[in-house]
Amino acid sequence: MAGPCEFARGGLFVGPAVGAPRFVKTKNSEYDAHVKTIIEPFRIKSIEPIRMTTRDERERILREAGFNVFLIRAEDVLIDLLTDSGTGAMSAEQWAGIMRGDESYAGATSFYRFQDRITELTGFEHVLPTHQGRASERILFELVGGPDKIVPNNAHFDTTRANVEHSGAKAVDLPIPEAAEPKNRHPFKGNMNVAALEKLIADVGRDRIPLVMVTVTNNSGGGQPVSMANLRAVRAVCDKHKLPLFLDACRFSENAFLIKQREPDMKDRTVREIVREMFDLADGATISAKKDGMVNIGGLLLLRDEQMLYRASNLLILTEGFITYGGLAGRDLEAMAQGFEEVVHDDYLAYRIRSVEYLGEKLIAAGIPIVEPPGGHAIYIDAGALCPHIPPAQFPGQAVVCGLYRIGGVRSVEIGSVMFGNAPTATGKPRLELVRLAMPRRVYTQSHIDYVIEAAAELAASKANLRGLRMTHQPPVLRHFTARFEEI
């Protein structure tokens, strides 16, 4: 009798389909509902070997890298959860696009195919390609930033904040209070605090605010989604004060799927419809295509205003490239055009979101506190709660990062006092000491994830052995990339 294979037993991606009738044809996806396991919706045609290392080797490697996993070679990592950015696997169709790429300097066919796909998906007619998200941010804030300006966001990503501040403007985070409570299972912890936005506008005056930005999903705050109701409310405030609304839309598709799952009046809408409404509410967007664009390099700047398009195009030509390639090759535009199509498929999103949720559920079951509920692209371990014996000044997040590497060769990233120093938090509460396990798209299978869970469970069982760290070297900016540590 055919039963679930060993691999699927225990339910990786066993979804909550209990009691569902057999052979149901759902609105968005056609599958045999009798089989509840959500599988990776792809086969593997090309593989990259993983080099196995011993614990002794990893101990040596970690010490040589000054206990900073950014300084470890990728070949010395078994499972790399450092980032979901540019680390995804492309599909056969995307690789076919790579061969089809039209490398004409101006007016390449690949650009028009890319532009048509983006316009169809987002409704934006003005589409500028850039080499990655921060290039779009740099152009945008060179246009609208400047001294005395203030840019509100639910939570700026670090490059966005850096680009706002580089222009002389001030970046202000306005998350909802629930975002600071890891165990609070509010379904949309990425939401912007609308009352705080109103207050900021009243306090500083609308003239100092060039635009309002909302990051979907909110990466700095746990990969948490923003609800459609919240986006509409922010739009209403922007309309009232005649302010443009921009999205940082790197993970727009994961946000749309979480809206469909969690926002009751949105469950009958297709992901494409939700994506379209999210973009319809905005006057512009910056996007790193290295996330939901499913490519290894690429970005976009979407605009409605003709004047702004004109000025942005000139800046693009100055530093990125002509407006029909923006610092990319024609083949990159082809891969992006196809990536933006594949990322809104229901089967892909069901697998994607379920696999992150699965990792989160198993970590909770192993007694590891995380930011709940699981969000879109990553699980964030609450290292401060896991290691109360390590004070923030001794970097509990970095201790967990080192522990995961030692035990399993798993690479994660600290998002806490190493990354942010002792800068004040937006909520005024103590900074969360987090460790992000980001999931590259379509790269790892269930057994890879089970391996990570096993390593994390071993770490939790022996957490008393985790030691705090002292920073022995720090560069003046973005110190987490190259800082070195020693164990206390």
Interface with ligand F0G (CB under 6 A): 83, 85, 132-134, 157, 159-160, 215, 219, 248, 250, 288, 290, 299
CB of 136 to ligand F0G, least distance (A): 8
What is the dihedral angle through the alpha carbons of 126, 130, 133, 135, rounded to the nearest 10 degrees? -110
Query: Quick one: 245 or 466, whose CB is closer to ligand F0G?
Result: 245
3-state secondary structure of 461: helix
90 Rama class: left (phi>0) / alpha (psi -120 to 50) / beta: beta
Query: Quick one: 160 or 417, whose CB is closer to ligand F0G?
Result: 160
Query: Quick one: 12 or 245, whose CB is closer to ligand F0G?
Result: 245
Query: Does residue 235 contact residue 281 with C-beta atoms inside 8 Å?
Result: yes
Distance CA 185, CA 73 (A): 37
3-state secondary structure of 246: strand
CB of 304 to ligand F0G, least distance (A): 20
Query: Quick one: 282 or 466, whose CB is closer to ligand F0G?
Result: 282
Q: Among residues 144, 87, 470, which one has the least CA distance to residue 136?
A: 144
Of all residues in the shown chain, the one whose CB is closest to ligand F0G is: 133
HSE-up (13 A, CA, CB side) for residue 384: 17
156 Rama class: left (phi>0) / alpha (psi -120 to 50) / beta: beta
Query: Quick one: 250 or 386, whose CB is closer to ligand F0G?
Result: 250
Query: Quick one: 231 or 387, whose CB is closer to ligand F0G?
Result: 231
Distance CA 348, CA 42 (A): 9
Q: Which two tokens stand for residue 9?
A: 């037993």
Query: Does residue 225 contact residue 259 with C-beta atoms inside 8 Å?
Result: yes
Query: Quick one: 250 or 316, whose CB is closer to ligand F0G?
Result: 250
CB of 107 to ligand F0G, least distance (A): 26
Q: Which two tokens stand for residue 134?
A: 């921060």
Query: Quick one: 38 or 192, whose CB is closer to ligand F0G?
Result: 192
CB of 211 to ligand F0G, least distance (A): 15
Specify the length of the chain in residues. Answer: 488
327 Rama class: left (phi>0) / alpha (psi -120 to 50) / beta: left
- Phi, psi for residue 172 in degrees, rounded to 5: -120, 125
CB of 302 to ligand F0G, least distance (A): 14
Query: Does residue 258 contact residue 217 with C-beta atoms inside 8 Å?
Result: yes
CB of 98 to ligand F0G, least distance (A): 19
Query: Quick one: 171 or 390, whose CB is closer to ligand F0G?
Result: 171
Query: Quick one: 157 or 380, whose CB is closer to ligand F0G?
Result: 157
CB of 391 to ligand F0G, least distance (A): 27
CB of 463 to ligand F0G, least distance (A): 26
CB of 337 to ligand F0G, least distance (A): 17
Q: Which two tokens stand for residue 374?
A: 């699981």
CB of 141 to ligand F0G, least distance (A): 12
- The alpha helices in 65-205, defined as continuous H runs, are 92-100, 109-122, 133-144, 158-166, 194-204
The set of residues, in sequence order, having a beta carbon less than 8 Å from that of 58 and lying 6+ positions away, is: 76, 405, 406, 409
Q: Which two tokens stand for residue 171?
A: 């970046």
Q: At what angle do helices 346-365 and 252-262 cross, to 10 degrees?
A: 70
